[in-house]
Amino acid sequence: MAPEITDDFSRSTRDLSHRGGPVNPALLDAPTDEPRVTAYDLANKILYLRLLDAAADGADWREVARIVLGLDPDRDPDQARRIHDSHLARARWITEAGYRDLLRQGSTS
């Protein structure tokens, strides 16, 4: 039986479309910490990959927040850092454990 992918889009979202074109204009302040891959995770898989690549390259979090997440870290550095760190942590979780859900599903998403 395939694990349930929950839909956490009902949580409040932040419209960032006016801030430099984020990968996902409906970016949450923090992704869920559910122990399964969610619809939000699937919708943000490219963002997660970009965050992982930037971290592997040693990119400054402020630059990543600006370019990848479409945030202005100068305007609210604490919030930008929390959003960056929480999404990077979720991306890492997927590489360490969450990928098993995707394999069980045989997802092409």
Q: How far apart are CA 75 and CA 45, in angstroms?
A: 26
Domain that holds residue 50: 37-105
pLDDT tens for residues 16-64? Answer: 333 344 444 579 999 999 999 999 999 999 999 999 999 999 999 999 9
Report yes or no on 46 lying in a domain: yes
Report yes or no on 19 lying in a domain: no
Report yes or no on 15 lying in a domain: no
Give, in degrees to the nearest 5, the angle at Cα 80 between 5 and 74.
160
Q: Pick from 105, 74, 69: which is nearest to 87 by CA?
A: 69
Q: What is the pTM of this model?
A: 0.74
Q: Pick from 67, 74, 33: which is nearest to 50 by CA?
A: 67
